[in-house]
């Protein structure tokens, strides 16, 4: 079995990852371990690469942003017991913030190559969903977050922004989404109680932040065996703009228009088909129903 496979998405971070690729190759040549690099060439290529190599490497490392992590996660075979590494070089890197990884690319690389690094078992999310145009149940896993409604519409605009990065890109997407968003009614059944919500959006978190640093699920823990969910009431757009800065400084719990909950498994029906994202990537613009499950301690992460 080989040591490490780096799956590199060169377009992550608006092309920043492509600039780091020569440095990555140079650093790898300095080590005697059996290390390979495969560069993705098209959307979902990372899924295919991870699926084909899960049983051939001790560790698979995703080089890119949260979207790249999501693709690699959805490709690896969890039964293979492979270690999952994160070399963040995207625009937001929300998942990496949970481990307080360095902003320095080479520092994070050295951590992965350090034989004394820790392996931490974390939870991941699994979602099955139907759309208004297809009654089949589609499935995806997510490592950091899932969003319904305005949150996902923002993700749609954010992932199509070709110029700005990080929080700036996300704030621009928020402004665009404000022009086109609408409240949505959700019927939520967590096997204990069935409840209706009229929300602007709902954010599910395995990690604490989404959208390049917004604390939407501030109490979430990666290994507590539960997923957190935050419901944001259908407030006016001016009030939303006044409220969002509190999410940047981790003060969202001060708002009287949010409700927090945790769950192991839940089912959500959307009043009308709408946008849903996982890890910042929109899975569909017309999702009708979703079932979300927490897969406890399902993934082994290389950590500091």
The pLDDT assigned to 238 comes to 84
The pLDDT assigned to 203 comes to 96
The pair phi, psi for residue 136, each rounded to 5°, is: -65, 150
Cross-strand pairs, 167: none
Domain 124-296 CATH class label: mainly beta
The pair phi, psi for residue 80, each rounded to 5°, is: -70, -15
Dihedral (CA of 46, 47, 53, 59) sign: positive
| Cα 200 to Cα 221: distance, rounded to the nearest angstrom | 24
The pLDDT assigned to 17 comes to 86
The burial of 12, by beta-carbon neighbours within 10 Å (0-12 exposed, 13-18 middle, 19 or more buried), is given as buried
pLDDT for 220-245, tens place per residue? 999 999 999 999 999 887 888 888 88
The pLDDT assigned to 167 comes to 67
Contact 90, 68 (CB under 8 A): yes
The pair phi, psi for residue 211, each rounded to 5°, is: 65, 30
Which H/E stretch holds residue 48? helix 45-53
What SS3 class is residue 40? Answer: coil
User: Of 132, 265, 122, 111, whose CA–CA distance to 188 is shortest?
Assistant: 265
| Cα 284 to Cα 274: distance, rounded to the nearest angstrom | 8
The pLDDT assigned to 166 comes to 64
The pLDDT assigned to 163 comes to 73
Kindly write down the DSSP assignment for every residue of 225-292, as one continuous string. S-EEEEEEE---HHHHHHHHHHHHTT-GGG-SSEEEEEESEEEEEEEEEEEEEETTEEEEEEEEEEEE
Say whether pTM exceeds 0.85: yes
Fold of 2-116: Rossmann fold (3.40.50)
The pLDDT assigned to 174 comes to 81
> 2-8 and 57-64 as β-strands: parallel, antiparallel, unpaired?
parallel
Cross-strand pairs, 231: 202, 259
Token code pair at residue 27: 């650093």
pLDDT along the chain (304 residues), means of 10: 94 83 87 90 96 96 94 95 91 84 84 89 97 93 96 86 72 85 92 90 95 92 97 88 89 94 97 94 95 97 89
The pLDDT assigned to 179 comes to 86
């Amino acid at each position: 079995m080989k040591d490490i496979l780096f799956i590199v998405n060169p377009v992550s971070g608006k092309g920043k990852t492509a600039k780091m690729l020569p440095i990555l190759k140079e650093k790898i040549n300095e080590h005697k371990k059996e290390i390979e690099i495969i560069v993705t060439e098209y959307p979902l290529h990372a899924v295919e690469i991870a699926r084909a190599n899960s049983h051939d490497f001790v560790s698979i490392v995703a080089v890119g942003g949260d979207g790249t992590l999501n693709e690699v996660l959805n490709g690896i075979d969890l039964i293979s017991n492979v270690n999952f590494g994160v070399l963040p070089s995207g625009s937001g890197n929300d998942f990496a913030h949970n481990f307080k990884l360095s902003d320095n690319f080479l520092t994070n690389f050295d951590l992965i190559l350090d034989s004394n690094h820790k392996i931490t078992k974390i939870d991941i999310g699994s979602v099955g969903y139907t759309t208004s145009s297809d009654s089949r149940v589609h499935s995806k896993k997510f490592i950091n977050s899932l969003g319904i409604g305005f949150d996902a519409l923002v993700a749609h605009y954010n992932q199509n922004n070709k110029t700005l990065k990080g929080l700036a890109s996300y704030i621009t997407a928020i402004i665009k989404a404000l022009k086109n968003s609408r409240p949505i009614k959700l019927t939520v059944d967590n096997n204990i109680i069935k409840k209706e919500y009229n929300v602007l959006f709902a954010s599910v978190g395995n990690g604490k932040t989404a959208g390049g640093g917004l604390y939407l699920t501030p109490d979430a823990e990666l290994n507590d065996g539960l997923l957190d969910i935050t419901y944001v009431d259908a407030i006016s757009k001016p009030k939303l703009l006044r409220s969002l800065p509190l999410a940047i400084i981790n003060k969202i719990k001060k708002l009287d228009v949010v409700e927090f909950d945790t769950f192991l498994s839940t089912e959500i029906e959307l009043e009308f088909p709408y946008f849903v994202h996982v890890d910042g990537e929109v899975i569909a613009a017309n999702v009708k129903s979703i079932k979300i499950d927490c897969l406890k301690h399902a993934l082994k992460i290389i950590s500091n």
